[in-house]
Chain A
Amino acid sequence: MKNKKWSLFAILLTFVLILTACSGDDSGSKKSSTEPKDTEKKVDAALFPLAVDNKDEAVEGGTLNVALVNNAPFQGIFSYAFYEDAYDAEILSYATTSLFDVDGNFMITDTGIAKMDVDEDNNKVTIKIREGVKWSDGEPLKIEDLIYAYEIIAHKDYTGIRYDTDFRNIVGIEEYNAGTADTISGLKKVDETTLEISFKKLSPAIYSGGDGLWTYAEPSHVMKDIPVKDLETSDPVRKTPLSLGAYVIDNIVKGESVKLVANEHYFRGEPKIKEAIIKVVPGEQIAAAIKSGEYDYVSNFPTQQYEAIKDLDNITILGRPELYYQYIGFKLGKFDTTEKIVKTDTNAKMSDKALRQAMGYAIDVENVASEYYYGLRERANSLIPPVFTSFYDESLEGYKYDPEKAKKLLDDAGYKDVNNDKIREDKDGKPLQINFAAISGTEADEAIVSYYLQNWKDVGLNVTLTSGRTIEINSFYDRVEADDPEIDVYMGAWGTGTNPSPVGLYGKESPFNYSRYSSDKLTELLTDIDSPKAMDAKFRTDKFKEWQEYMAENSPVIPVTFRYELVPVSKRLKGVTIDYAVPSNFHEWELTAEKVPAAK
């Protein structure tokens, strides 16, 4: 009995020793490869190709395995009229498509399902859809489907968040929203393939799908009978969405994966890969999954893990600058849900501009970008991503890491440490505690959040996490949107979409204006950017710059990073391009091997 136990103990010990020995060896061999780390820490972002170069012969059949990197389940709202986050949008990009194609400058072209003619003088846009375009159930796409999308979003019972300032630009839509009109008078069906939309005013934004132009259709033949208030939870949105795109959703495992099958009615031609599976993969596991050859295409790859995949021989890493900025927002008011406008509160905790700017100067984004992201992120200086070359203001200073400046700003504004505990009190000498909400993510994300908190503490600000820890992304945005009083400051990110016009995110009537900041000057600038006068390119560029300066000066939100997007693509996938200028080409993708190759 006793002997047996001893031998058990001995076996355990040996087991443990072997384990440690193994990993010890591993680290020994790794050492040589990690040594030149400092020199190659910064990666030249321009080195990544935009398209894969695969000349192998394609094989029949097979399944496209797509990984969607996300540390939370996806919401599963599969309709452009209702979806809220980028993960659903990513899945939607396979399972339906915009009516229009865009070029490299995100201007609408004629190659998509629809094309448009703009009549600037009469504020009218004529949309003509191709003949013979069908929904995935074989039903033809009708003009009614286009009109129906507007009718959902502008409906008084609409539960989503897209009825914003832009939308009110359509003639007759406010009457429809108020319930005094049954139809939207500005939308006129001319014939079976032509729709004429009357706007109150037109601006250059119309050419990139702004000004209230809605670039998606909803299948009215299946949705018509469902009341708008139930639509968001209905089957055509959650379970069996119809598609105009390359693939159709076939099966959904809620929050985990989506199985897609090729849409035989896709207007560009049925995709060559007949089946695709999109799976949610946690950030920590993606590098190992790529290595063992589980996925063909990885979207939302966390660039922090670049080091782990850069030498793999079974993938090609594509890269492009992303239409994205990460920012820190300050809660400065509330959204009045009855009047549907932003009400800025001058007594909010964060209403002092100096305090906000000090928080911006206090965080060491530069080091985070180079240590965790290998230079694939950079300190953002503006609220317009540099991809929009003509509107992006390079000359803006941005908030460079400068703790001394932060301290000085706080001192001057009256935030002083009166009781010598190294924590500043507010202007009246009362304790100042700032609640910071952050999205939970990989361990590195958590470490970055702790680092920022530490940075703020170094300049004497007592910033603590709302609810004591980082928040899961879905409930984070729910709480930010609901103006949770527990949140004073939050760190979020915007995928800006292809229309650079900022009114949708910062307008007085926009629910997306999460910082709830609005002023006459801001409204004026936003109106100018999308005004008829802005048809003059120079005027628009100037106003864009003026707006960026205004936002930098008043800092209701502080840009943190711009991001470079990496897309690891397996070596068996052919025809993939992530060039913004090339319209979606899922139907041309091919597989050149039966199995996803694993790394050697």
Chain B
Amino acid sequence: MEQQTELAIMPENNNSSSPPTGMQVIFREFKKDKLAIGSLIFLITLFVSIFLSSYLLVDQDEVMKVTLSSIYAEPGEQGFILGADHAGRDVLGQLLIGARNSFEIAIAITVITAIIGIAIGLITGYFGGFIDNFFMRIIDFFMTLPTLMIIIVFVTIVPKYNEWTFVLILSLFYWVGTARLIRSKALTESRRDYINASKTMGTSNIVIIFREIMPNISSLIIVELTLSFAGNIGIETGLSFLGFGLPPDTPSLGTLVAYAMNPIVLSSKWWIWVPASLLILVVMLAINYVGQALRRSADAKQRLG
């Protein structure tokens, strides 16, 4: 009797959350939500166009060259489509490169934190006991740190850094959230019967963790990644806004928005900060709509389709 129920549950379990079905659910969910599909298409177009144009059409040294004769050139003047800033630098060029940098950084941070976070989360959740305790204390420690402050101090004392060291500094702190979330899910998942069965069959731990548990929580991982991606775009722009982001000769969306701290720029030089602010706003909204659709597909109760 007991065995029967187990057998009955197992295939069902496998069915509802095995990867292909998961993808189908996501697909169905998007089909139902026009806003999400619109956002997704918009995001893809935006990313492709920004990456292509910033790498092929714009030269960073050229964009960041100070030209005194075109200080605060208005849009359309002297061939600046979106005008120029207080140093006569092309706003459009800065916008493209800045957006590219923000996206690159966000993608890199998301990938790095995801790899570390998922690996640690799965391992601690699966093994439990001492390993779980050990890693959780480390995570607790990281969580108590005032992350933003440390990053700011770090950026201030490290004399020379570039995009990639910046990414590493940020990744150092942002993996803990992912790890915690994945751990809690892996903890419940690893008590399921199919895992026990797999164990009795002599499957190695590594295979169980990455071939069996991970696919089963993949929907959660996708949602988590999407939403943390949106957050990570915010991190770089936010820090640059405060003046602790990328080095000053690197264009950034945050720096462009920060120019609006000068009331004169805010009130009469809109072309400097409006495009950057709009871009951030629209990208954030789009990612969130996509993320919500994904989240719904991960949770049967909220599904629309």
Contact = CB atoms under 8 A, between A and B. Distances in A.
A is bound by B: yes
Interface of A: 2, 5-6, 9, 12, 16, 19-20, 23-24, 26-27, 30-31, 284-285, 287-288, 305, 308, 364, 367-368, 371-372, 442-444, 446-447, 450-451, 454, 465-470, 486
B161 interface: yes
Interface string B89-122: 0000000000000000000000000000000000
Interface in B45-100: 64-66, 68-69, 71, 74, 86-87
Contact of A467 (B65, B159, B261): B159
Nearest to B88: A447
Interface of B: 33, 35, 64-66, 68-69, 71, 74, 86-87, 159-161, 247-249, 259, 261-264, 267-271, 274, 278, 281, 285
Contact of A443 (B69, B160, B259, B267): B259
B263 A287 contact: yes
Contacts of B271: 27
Contact of B269 (A27, A466, A486): A27
Given A287-B263, A371-B68, A26 B270 contact: yes
B160 to A, nearest CB: 5
A23 B274 contact: yes
14 contacts: A2-B33, A9-B35, A26-B268, A285-B261, A285-B262, A287-B263, A287-B264, A364-B68, A372-B71, A447-B66, A450-B249, A454-B65, A454-B66, A468-B160
Contacts of B281: 12, 16
A9 B282 CA distance: 10
B247 A26 contact: no
B248 A469 contact: yes
Contacts of A12: 281, 285
Nearest to A455: B66
B87 A447 contact: yes
The 9 closest A-B pairs by CB, nearest first: A23-B270, A447-B87, A288-B263, A284-B262, A451-B66, A467-B159, A371-B68, A367-B68, A468-B160
Instruction: Label chain A's interface by main secondary structure.
Output: helix
Contact of B247 (A5, A20, A368, A469): A469
Contacts of B247: 468-469
Contacts of A19: 274
B267 A9 contact: no
Contacts of B262: 284-285, 442-443
Nearest to A282: B261
A469 B255 CA distance: 14
A447 B86 contact: yes
A469 to B, nearest CB: 5
A559 to B, nearest CB: 21
Contacts of B268: 23, 26-27, 30
B248 A446 contact: yes
A298 to B, nearest CB: 15
Contacts of A6: 35
B66 A285 contact: no
A250 B263 CA distance: 32
A371 B65 CA distance: 16
A355 B159 CA distance: 25
Given A12-B285, A451-B66, 17 more contacts: A2-B35, A16-B278, A20-B274, A23-B268, A284-B261, A285-B263, A367-B68, A447-B86, A450-B66, A454-B65, A454-B66, A465-B248, A466-B159, A467-B160, A468-B160, A469-B247, A469-B248
Nearest to A5: B35
Given A20-B274, A288-B264, A371-B71, A468 B159 contact: yes
Given A6-B35, A9-B285, A308-B264, A24 B270 contact: yes
A368 B68 contact: yes
Contacts of A465: 248
A159 B190 CA distance: 66
A23 B247 CA distance: 30
Contacts of A23: 267-268, 270, 274
Given A450-B87, A450-B249, A486 B159 contact: yes
A221 B281 CA distance: 62
Contacts of A447: 66, 86-87
Contacts of A16: 278, 281
Contacts of B269: 27
A489 B249 CA distance: 19
Given A5-B35, A285-B262, A27 B74 contact: yes
Contacts of B274: 19-20, 23
Given A367-B68, A371-B68, A451 B87 contact: yes
Contact of B263 (A26, A284, A444, A467): A284
Contacts of B161: 468
Contacts of A368: 68
B285 A27 contact: no
A469 B248 CA distance: 6
A31 B263 CA distance: 18
A27 B68 CA distance: 20
Contacts of A9: 35, 285
Contacts of A372: 68, 71
Contacts of B69: 371
Contacts of B259: 443
Nearest to B159: A467
Nearest to A283: B262
A27 B270 contact: yes
A467 B161 CA distance: 9
Contacts of A443: 86-87, 259, 262
Contacts of A284: 261-263
Contacts of B65: 454
A251 to B, nearest CB: 28
Most buried by A among B71, B262, B269: B262
A461 to B, nearest CB: 16
Nearest to B89: A447
A444 B262 CA distance: 11
A273 to B, nearest CB: 28
Contacts of A446: 87, 248
A26 B285 CA distance: 28
A457 to B, nearest CB: 9
Nearest to B244: A469
Nearest to A20: B274
A442 B247 CA distance: 16
Nearest to B65: A454
A20 B270 CA distance: 7
A149 to B, nearest CB: 37
Contacts of A454: 65-66
B68 A451 contact: yes
A2 B35 CA distance: 9
Contacts of B264: 287-288, 305, 308
Nearest to B72: A34
